[in-house]
Amino acid sequence: MSLPANTPIKPKAIIGVSLKMYFGYQRSVDYCRDVAAIAFAHPAVQAGDIELFVLPTLPVLPEAARILGPAGAAAGAQDIFWEDEGAFTGEVGGKTVAELGGRYAEVGHAERRRIFGEDDTVIGLKTAAAYRNGLTPILCVGELQQGSVEEAVTRCSAEIDAALHRAQSLGPAGRTIVAYEPQWAIGAPEPATPDYISAVITGLDAHLRSLPGQADSRVIYGGSAGPGLITKLAPAVAGLFLGRFAHDPKALKTILDETAARMTTAEVTV
């Protein structure tokens, strides 16, 4: 089942994968073919209950979109520039991402905040660029050091507000997927504890969906997420944003199966 780009999406769960810069072109294409085969055969993906997307490196995007689209999945970019076109050497705007078949744009990842110095202003501009080009932003937020649940909710809510307020000052907003990725858990051997993740995301989800125009937006968890985690999380956690632990297609299939099973045994907030 391939949904038209303008079809409203109200899935019961969201599973996304970033390939970062781990795979070359051919390996990325092969991975997308494997994911498409899994998606074609997966009842929850075909029913639209699980929203599935892959973010490859940019040169792979057109082929990834072509492969994944007919399987009911989608592709997107790991970054976009805040302007759509102009004299910005080396950058790629949301207009081009959409033209290449992308439906998502990741913004605000901890690596870009740390390595490239992206701040709340830049992240807000990139979020606005996603909205105006019909892309769903994957807005990454997360505290630097582990503390209390209340501190994490306060910190990450402020990051959400900074990005969305800036974006909305420039034009209409749209649906947002917030990826809660505590920076201290990214690349760690284990994710944050299920109780901690559940408590923080319950607070963030309530905050996000109370904002103007964000009733259909959701919060998912990233940060060393892998098989076995989704079944331990509270219903407010809409899904997972996966990295290296889903680079094996078999692991991704396991996570999709776990997500589908969770939807039949728990009342997932939609």
Distances (CA, A) of 141 to 36, 121, 203: 29, 14, 13
- Tell whether 76 is covered by a domain: yes
pLDDT of res. 4 = 44
pLDDT, tens digit (0-9, with 9 covering 90-100), for 57-94: 999 999 999 999 999 999 999 999 999 999 999 999 99
Q: Quote the CA–CA distance of 197 and 240 in Å, as a whole number.
A: 11
- Tell whether 6 is covered by a domain: no
Q: Tell me the residue type at 19.
A: L
- Tell whether 95 is covered by a domain: yes
Q: How many CB atoms lie within 10 A of CB 27?
A: 14
- Tell whether 4 is covered by a domain: no
Q: Quote the CA–CA distance of 154 and 57 in Å, as a whole number.
A: 32
Catalytic residue among 42, 51, 63, 109: 109
Percent of the chain past pLDDT 70, that is, above it, reads 95
**Residue numbers of the chain with a pLDDT score lower than 50:** 1-7, 268, 270
Catalytic residue among 106, 143, 159, 181: 181
DSSP label at 135? P
Q: Verify whether residue 51 is a known catalytic residue.
A: no
- Tell whether 3 is covered by a domain: no
Q: Please state the domain count of the chain.
A: 1
The helix/strand count (H/E) of the chain reads as: 9, 8
pLDDT of res. 116 = 96
Residue 132 belongs to domain with CATH number? 3.20.20.70
Q: At what angle do helices 120-132 and 149-168 cross, to 10 degrees?
A: 60
Cβ(43)–Cβ(260) under 8 Å?
A: yes
pLDDT of res. 192 = 85
- Tell whether 187 is covered by a domain: yes
Q: Verify whether residue 91 is a known catalytic residue.
A: no
pLDDT of res. 224 = 84
Q: Which domain holds residue 134?
A: 13-265
